[in-house]
Amino acid sequence: MPVISKRGQQMPNSPIRKLVPLAESAERRGIKVYRLNIGQPDIPTSPNALAAIKNISSPIIDYGHSAGNESLRKKFVEYYKSINIELDYTDILITTGASEAITLTLLTCLNAGDEIIVPEPFYANYFSFATATDVEVIPVTSTIESGFALPPVSEFEKRITSKTKAIIICNPNNPTGHVYSQKELEQIRDMVVRHDLFLLCDEVYRELCYDDTVFTSAMQIDGLDKHLILIDSVSKRYSATGLRVGLIASRNKELLQTTLKFCQARLCPPNIGQLAAEAALDSPPEYLDMVYNEFLKRRNFIVNELNSIEGVFCPVPKGAFYVMVKLPVDDAEKFAMWMLEDFSYDNKTVMLAPGSGFYYNTDLGRQEVRVAYVLNINDLKIALDCLRRGLQAYPGRTLSANKLKDTVITSIK
């Protein structure tokens, strides 16, 4: 029998999707599953994007430019200018989602065996992209006690070797909701310049920053022109995850010219998705305000409700639409599986993403889950009631989060 590649054998299962078969089995048994495991909002997609799809008049869906449609790239230039980022359309490559943007960037910037440093917990697919491109992930651990703030630069410095070629951050962060400050970004800037590294900055959640948090783009930090690769997408801000339109932006022309060769090999990004994305960028302010206000309302609700559950600790996320939550359980993955296989309340249950899947060292995050507050308030109320009752009934229940909760301010006024 032919042998599957080592790369394929090492490719991890997604912690976000690995429990899908259990959820599907529960649904076949007639149980309603509230999916808080994945970043799929129930907010309607931008009407502009939907109208563009409905009004396609071309008789042929043809190939586009390998770099992406020029009109879309120019529309992104207008968008970035509106948030004080100056780019030329030739500084942008359109990709099939932010996922392809990251994969192509790794292929362009790193050789097999090179290392990329990532603050953890991190978006789980970063590890998948690295595995697929034979890149080694080197984690720097942040903690729930600090609200997952950037670890000290000295911790990054300890991990830099001759094989280190890049650092990747997500801002606002998935899965923690942390928003990196201008000071933190400047510290990262100084480090990547000092060691001559690439910096990949994933900013797909930039419009979702809460309270008095000020978002600073890495593109607004001086001195990074040759080092910075910005990763972006229309998936989150326009609730259009299925369009699969993302981008790479950089002022490093050699990097873009090299990446374009990989883009040519896959021909072009999806044309219908690009048409819809271009229309979405013209969404009225009222739409974006609605999206923001809805997520803020959900954030406030879920943080307060989670912290009202005995033994649960939920720090206050400052951005995105996720939070890492510490549960009073022996093992969060076992608990998440138990909720789908063995528990229901009024024929309802909840699907969570086990926290260990967002760490390089899977011994970390064993009592944590990522919760995506992507459902409307009424559904969140039902889901959290199921979670509360599930925690009360779970055989492996502990109360280890109580002390932590008592020492950290977690409520939202």
Please check whether residues 268 and 185 belong to one and the same domain: yes
Q: What is the DSSP letter of 4?
A: P
Judged against a pLDDT cut of 90, whether residue 34 lies above it is answered with yes
3-state secondary structure (DSSP) of residue 12 = coil
Inform me whether the pLDDT recorded for 405 exceeds 60. Answer: no
Which string of DSSP letters, residue by residue, matches 177-191?
A: -----HHHHHHHHHH
**Domain assignment of residue 378, given as a range:** 6-44+286-407
**335 and 394 in contact (C-beta within 8 Å)?**
yes
CA distance 74 to 104: 21
Enclosing H/E stretch for 278: helix 271-280
Q: Examine residue 295 and state whether it is found in any structural domain, yes or no.
A: yes
Residue 121 and residue 365 in contact, taking contact as beta carbons nearer than 8 Å: yes
**What number is the average pLDDT over the span 204-228?**
97
- Residues in CB range of 84: below 8 A, 6 or more apart: 220
Question: How much is the pLDDT for 15?
Answer: 73
Q: 143 and 199: one domain?
A: yes
Domain boundary (280, 313, 330) is at: 280
Mean pLDDT of the region 363-374:
96
> Among residues 231, 261, 280, which one ends one of the domains?
280
Task: For residues 51 and 40, state if they share a domain.
Answer: no
Which among 236, 257, 280 is the end of a domain? 280
Phi, psi of 391 (to 5 degrees): -65, -35
Query: What's the pLDDT score for residue 413?
Result: 61
> What percentage of residues in the chain have a pLDDT greater than 70?
97
What's the one-letter identity of residue 230?
L
Q: How many domains does the chain have?
A: 2
Domain shared by 123 and 79, yes or no = yes
Strand ordering across the sheet containing 368-372? 322-326, 368-372, 353-354
pLDDT higher than threshold 70 for residue 393: yes
Which string of DSSP letters, residue by residue, matches 362-395?
Answer: TTTTTTEEEEE--S-HHHHHHHHHHHHHHHHH-T
DSSP letter, residue 313: B
Q: What are phi and psi of 343, to 5 degrees?
A: -125, 140
68: left (phi over 0), alpha (psi -120 to 50) or beta: left
DSSP 150: P
Alpha carbon distance 15, 356 (integer Å): 8
Question: Is residue 407 pLDDT above 90, yes or no?
Answer: no
Q: Are residues 169 and 246 both part of a single domain?
A: yes
| Claim to verify: residue 85 and residue 38 sit in the same structural domain | no
pLDDT band of 409, cuts 50, 70, 90: low
Residues 218 and 326 in one domain: no
Which pLDDT belongs to residue 402?
A: 55
Amino acid 410: pLDDT: 58
Q: Quick one: average pLDDT of 395-413?
A: 66
Does position 242 have pLDDT exceeding 80, yes or no?
Answer: yes
> Cα 83 to chain center, whole Å?
21
Rounded mean pLDDT, 85-111? 98
Would you say residue 1 lies in a domain? Answer: no
pLDDT per residue over 114-156, tens digit each? 999 999 999 999 999 999 999 999 999 999 998 899 999 999 9
Q: Is the peptide bond before 172 cis (omega within 30 degrees of 0)?
A: yes
Residues 6+ apart with CB under 8 A from 297: 377
Token look-up 């890049």 returns 166
Residues 13 and 156 in one domain: no
Alpha carbon distance 140, 239 (integer Å): 31
Average pLDDT over residues 213-218: 96
pLDDT(180) > 60: yes
Residues 77 and 202 grouped into a single domain: yes
pLDDT confidence tier of residue 199, bands split at 50, 70 and 90: very high
pLDDT digits (tens, 9 = 90+) for 268-309: 999 999 999 999 999 999 999 999 999 999 999 999 999 999
- Residues 297 and 208 placed together within one structural domain of the fold: no
Structural domain contains residue 176: yes
* Residue 401 scores a pLDDT above 90: no
Exposed e or buried b for every residue in 37-64, given b needs 16+ CB within 10 A? bbbebebebbebbeebeeeeeeeeeeeb
Q: What residues does 246 pair with on adjacent strands?
A: 95, 233
Q: How confident is the model at residue 320 (pLDDT cuts 50, 70, 90)?
A: very high
Q: What's residue 18's pLDDT?
A: 81
In this prediction, residue 96 carries a pLDDT of: 98
Contact 275, 53 (CB under 8 A): yes
Q: Read off the CATH number of the domain in which 197 is found.
A: 3.40.640.10
Higher pLDDT, 402 or 319: 319
- Alpha-carbon distance 331 to 398, whole Å? 10
Mean pLDDT, the chain, rounded, equals: 95
Q: Where are the beta strands (DSSP E) in 234-292?
A: 246-249
Over 60: is that where the pLDDT of 53 sits? Answer: yes
- How far is it, in rounded angstroms, from Cα 94 to Cα 76? 10
What's the rounded Cα separation, in Å, for the pair 122 and 134? 18
Alpha helices in 308-353 (DSSP H): 332-341
Q: How confident is the model at residue 357 (pLDDT cuts 50, 70, 90)?
A: very high
